[in-house]
Structure 1
Amino acid sequence: MTKQKLTKRVVESAPVPETGEGRIWDSEIAGFCVRIYPGTETKQGHAARAVRRIFAIKYRVRGIQRWLTLGEFGDGPDKLTAERARREAASVVVDARRGIDPGEARRRIVGLTVKGMVELYLEKGPNDKPTKREATWAVDRTNLERHVVPLLGKMVLETVTRDHITGMIRSITAGKTARDVRTVRRGRSIVKGGAGIADRTYSTLRATFNWAIDKGHFAGPNPCAKVKREIRPAVERFLSESQAQALITALDALEAEKTLSERQGAVFRLLLLTGARRNEIAGLRWTEVDFDRRRLVLPPSRTKAGGRTGDRRISLNDVAFRILERLHRNRDRSQFVFPASKGDSGYATSEPKIWRDKVLPKAGLEGVRIHDLRHSFASFALADGASLPMIGKALGHANSRATERYAHLSDDPVRALAERIGERFSPKI
């Protein structure tokens, strides 16, 4: 019985039998082989079917001998290279030793495209990741359907390389997938590009490939692995006390001018006063407001940390409490504190546009993001002497690493103390 390590050269140069089947066994993986079948000819002497070289493996599971065809040798989208066949054969051996029959357990779909994988992930993935929030799935869907599918959707999974992923990131960063999409619910959806969107899309696609590999739809390796990306510095801006006051003054003025409703202004006030995330406040339900204990209680499905930290409890200071109390007195039948102006089942989602077009120009805070209100809450808390663990708890961080970004701000109160000491002695020096 011929045994050699099955490489590209060995498989290509293997003798072709005149009839029947030839077979070369691998010298390293027991049961792994290539089966060689001769081509056929027509009466005119032309080949009707080329020589076929099929990778297969013979294995034993639970005492029963089985055969599994891995695929045909070649470089095409539905073919296997010798290296890839070797990895699949090794995986079969591992499964068999664990008592799993790879022939039954494997569900790899031959010729599955990136678009097909995306559709499977969005359909089946939520059942496999029950703690992942609906809002996060909605963002994943947008990233995959609006950016990945237009660029890579038609490619068969086995043909996607690291270079294709790098090209995708470059295209999204350059805005090549940006467009204005008509939707049923909101009428239109503005799909933007840029470095931030490219980075999040890459992370989503990497997770999608990992899921497909884990579920047996793709043999791997993940083409997103080890892709070199430009490291973007974290963008964080903290309002000074005077800037925060300018924001409040601007909200007061816009409400007085009737260009901003009380409810719209309340969203931004509560974000600054609580350090909550935008959707935690914008999507707030009355059932989540505990007036007796002066706090918000958000279920895991409404928090970024999900089931890792349980319910998220946000304490309400007196100003925030009075805002919600006033809104409650004037509430309508909606379950939401900030219901959508149209329809009766959703909450308002217009904050980014209002913030950009009305609030920022009025307050003179160009470039400040809504999320920077959350950073500012942490900044003010640290300046007042709060510890990083306490700030992390207030912000609902699942681990300390997320809070450590604020560590450099602890110099500010120390510096202020030093300045006060300096002022005490400045006339004498």
Structure 2
Amino acid sequence: MPISIPGQFKKAASFINSLEPATTRQEIPDSAQAGLYLVVQPSGALSWAVRAKIDGKASKVTIGRYDEVGSADDRIGTLISPTQALNVTQARAIAERVRNDAKRGNDPRLQKIDKTGLAAWFDDFVRTARTAGFKGRAVKGSTADEYERIIATNIKPHWTHVTDIRTLDYRDVEKLLNKLTPGARRNAFAVLSAFFRWKPVARAIGRNIIELAEPPAKPQSRDRVLSQDEIKTVWKAAEKCGYPFGPMVQLLLLTGQRRDEIAELKWRELSDDRDAITLEAARTKNSRPHVVPLSPLAKTIVEAIPRIIDAEGEASHYVFTTTAATPFSGFSNGKKALDKHCGEPALPEWHLHDLRRTCATELAKLGIKQEVTEAILNHKTGKVSGVAAIYNRYEYQDEKRQALEKWAIRVQAIVAENVELLRKTA
């Protein structure tokens, strides 16, 4: 075996790839650049080090880890980092600069790496999502909020040891995912997929590491629909929960809308007579405004909701809020309280989204046409699809109102003739 790394790039790469780790640490000199060594650990880890005299003392500077492809970061050659990925050519260029700096009396070890910390990258990622976006337009505000929440709760706490994103590889992603629950795992993987595909990050690392990570298993399609007894139990439990979670759950059941569409409801999205909701395009999944008629029962619930006032005496923009400044977000605690009020025996595993599926199922039982149900749910993927969906712009407003009024009457019959509504309390 040669005692030094060959000068020609392909030969050097072939030589390094053929190395077998020894039982002790090895330093293999480079034949083309004085002072450059490849450090081979017994574990098989490979790193680059430069030996030079700094302040009159023989010193060793670790300049990066070996990677046959190297890094695509434009700053390679201007930064010193023990964790950056360097191929043979890049390592030689940095080694030459380190030795030249040492000769001029500069200590390359004192240079700081600019903007490679994980927190700074994630902050820029969320900021970009809110402003320029990744496909020519900013993402929805709720999506950016979700990015920020997932990063703060499911990613950053498990990567506190990461000081340079260029040290990350697919194994770090898989280790992080294995620490999370199935739902959080899928959310984190989705955010990290967008993060590592983001061009600045891909350039800094040199490749999209998410492509090598094992994606989480797809969730099994849920078909949970609440029975009539369960509908009654959940309704009564919502009454006991009170504002804000209780009436929010009741509206989810009565309208069949998505959780966040109701939880983030603004007073301005309610009609003056409180008999309809108009969801802003920015808050719907298909980015189109969506009108949701409110049945008399739903209207009564809305009219009983208190208008929350902030510390400065201003009325909150949000219908459901605990802070007056932000929409309701305490779903985990709210669901626990709801389940507690459901009593014993506990309802088999169910989610708030099951209320949407229950609404759709009960509408079918009432004989509501599928296209009307899809219009209520703001779906465009069922009976009215393809060419028909392109040319059929009818919104079914009268049919939607009639259907939801029928459903509300059905709910009243299920939960009892004298439905107890939530009292208006602050």
Tell me the residue number matched to 2:361.
379
Structure 1 unaligned regions, length at least 5: 20-37, 56-67, 86-108, 173-193, 404-429
Tell me the residue number matched to 1:361.
343
Tell me the residue number matched to 1:165.
173
The code of the aligned residue for 1:345 comes to: A
Moved more, 147-156 or 8-17: 8-17
- Of residues 275, 292, 308 in structure 1, which corresponds to 2:256? 275
The code of the aligned residue for 2:360 comes to: A
The whole-number CA distance in structure 2 between the counterparts of 1:195 and 1:237 is 18
Kindly report which structure 2 residues correspond to 1:393-412, keeping only aligned pairs within 5 A, or say none: 393-397=375-379
Query: TM-score, normalised to structure 1's length?
Result: 0.58
Q: Secondary structure at the match of 1:238?
A: coil
The whole-number CA distance in structure 2 between the counterparts of 1:139 and 1:360 is 29
Contact 1:272 1:377 in 2 (8 A): yes
The code of the aligned residue for 1:145 comes to: A
Q: Secondary structure at the match of 1:202?
A: helix
- Of residues 300, 304, 315 in structure 2, which corresponds to 1:327? 304
The code of the aligned residue for 1:16 comes to: A
Q: Secondary structure at the match of 1:290?
A: coil
How far has the Cα of 1:237 moved from its partner?
A: 1.7
The whole-number CA distance in structure 1 between the counterparts of 2:269 and 2:253 is 19
Query: TM-score, normalised to structure 2's length?
Result: 0.58
Tell me the residue number matched to 1:121.
125
The code of the aligned residue for 1:160 comes to: L
The whole-number CA distance in structure 1 between the counterparts of 2:256 and 2:347 is 19
- Of residues 317, 331, 337 in structure 1, which corresponds to 2:295? 317
How has the CA–CA distance of structure 1 residues 119 and 377 changed in structure 2, closer, same or farther, with 3 Å as cutoff? same
The code of the aligned residue for 1:309 comes to: S
The code of the aligned residue for 2:13 comes to: K
Kindly report which structure 2 residues correspond to 1:251-330, keeping only aligned pairs within 5 A, or say none: 251=237, 255=239, 259-261=240-242, 265-290=246-271, 294-303=275-284, 305=285, 308-324=286-302, 326-327=303-304
Superposition RMSD on alpha carbons, in Å? 4.7
Identical pairs, percent: 16
Structure 2 unaligned regions, length at least 5: 1-6, 17-27, 36-49, 68-73, 92-112, 310-314, 386-426
Tell me the residue number matched to 1:97.
none
The code of the aligned residue for 2:194 comes to: A
The total of aligned residue pairs comes to 317
The code of the aligned residue for 2:146 comes to: V
- Offset from partner CA, 1:132-167 (integer Å, 9 cap, x none): 233332332232123322323443323222211111
Kindly report which structure 2 residues correspond to 1:30-429, keeping only aligned pairs within 5 A, or say none: 70-71=76-77, 76-81=82-87, 112-129=116-133, 130-155=137-162, 156-172=164-180, 194-213=181-200, 216-248=203-235, 250-251=236-237, 255=239, 259-261=240-242, 265-290=246-271, 294-303=275-284, 305=285, 308-324=286-302, 326-327=303-304, 334-336=315-317, 338-340=319-321, 343-350=323-330, 352-358=332-338, 359-361=341-343, 364-386=346-368, 390-397=372-379
- Offset from partner CA, 1:26-48 (integer Å, 9 cap, x none): xxxxxxxxxxxx97679x9x976
How far has the Cα of 1:233 moved from its partner?
A: 1.6
How far has the Cα of 1:6 moved from its partner?
A: 7.2
- Structure possessing the higher relative contact order (Cα contacts under 8 Å, 6 or more residues apart): 2
